[in-house]
Chain A
């Protein structure tokens, strides 16, 4: 994927300002930066969720400028966002089944990911509104990772997870990376991500200002 001189406006505010960034197959890129620097907007842009005001961008060779291109990109990436995308009034299982049907993910893949992330079976029939923040995060991780996309965008994946869940998640991400998936991880938990990241990109003022391998 590649962004060239991309500007994204949130209202009149340039959340990304002539931002250049690229990532290639099998890379795990840690995206670091202060609060409000543009990390989340960078990931949302790559996920095809926001319009590009100027510049150009492509994911798997599909342009991000037009609506049809963004729709195609959205279907080919997995994105763990700040919001869980879950419905509070549905149970965990109902949410996961809805996502599985929408993304055409096999239910068996969801089940094995639940086991992998040690999601307790007893919460499957619990409404999401009654789960803890950590449990919700695990459910969202299960839904994101089970899709098996070649480009995975993770925004603060460690937030709200306990130390055991963080270990499990890190091991899984390392495995995914070694199998050739590309991962962009925005995180303040830099020490953890640096352990398996192949590159670090720092975002400041809506631009990627520094990249280190």
Chain B
């Protein structure tokens, strides 16, 4: 399973490196979002810093949705998805491979957004381990949900359904991540933060659901 996961992840990452969608489209897109937020909310001092946890996750979610759509449009081209089935790759391996590739791309985007928030909104930066852990677990949770729904809606003009399906399901993850980061902004964080714990639970639960159901979804 892990061998198949690495095969799929390395294939997806190689395609991304070659097509440069991340650097040429996703990063500029998130920068535009950050600038628009800055213009929209820069009416009161410190308002942007207070809102920055929510803004970070909204920008990240938009970028992840695009990355997910891209990840599954690759499989729709030339019926490559049939190929994955015919090569005998384990469905759990395909799921985990897709999740790993999305998490790595999202981590780069989130790092970029994080620096953007620090520089553009003058947000404070401390407790980096807490920030990284909460971002990592939330990203895994969102990616697991996104990969499951991405496989469901690939092709035949159904791609636009993806945000409609993902956003309600990942709302608890986004809420937990935003709450965790609000604690961070207030300076009340520790690795025992209950919101961080909840993010870990979501990541494990969504991951397990994906591993167990992905085979049936691919067969549809």
Query: Interface on A for B, CB 8 Å cutoff?
Result: 47-49, 51, 67, 70-71, 74-75, 77, 79, 81-90, 94, 98-99, 101-104, 127
In the complex, chain A residues whose CB is within 8 Å of the CB of B219: 51, 67, 70
User: Is B87's CB under 8 angstroms from A99's CB?
Assistant: yes
Interface of B is mostly: helix
User: Is B19's CB under 8 angstroms from A85's CB?
Assistant: no
Interface residue from B11, B82, B88, B216 paired with A87 (Cβ < 8 Å): B11
Bound CA–CA A127/B88 (angstroms): 24
Bound CA–CA A102/B7 (angstroms): 8
The 6 nearest A-B residue pairs measured at CB: A83-B79, A85-B83, A102-B87, A75-B88, A89-B15, A84-B78
In the complex, chain A residues whose CB is within 8 Å of the CB of B82: 49, 81, 83, 85
In the complex, chain B residues whose CB is within 8 Å of the CB of A83: 78-80, 82
Q: Can you list 12 A-B pairs with a CB-CB distance of less than 8 A?
A: A71-B85, A79-B86, A85-B79, A85-B80, A87-B11, A87-B78, A87-B80, A88-B77, A89-B15, A89-B19, A102-B89, A103-B87
Interface residue from A47, A74, A90 paired with B11 (Cβ < 8 Å): A90
Interface residue from B74, B77, B88, B215 paired with A102 (Cβ < 8 Å): B88
In the complex, chain B residues whose CB is within 8 Å of the CB of A85: 78-80, 82-83, 86
Bound CA–CA A93/B128 (angstroms): 41
User: Is A67's CB under 8 angstroms from B215's CB?
Assistant: yes
Bound CA–CA A49/B18 (angstroms): 30
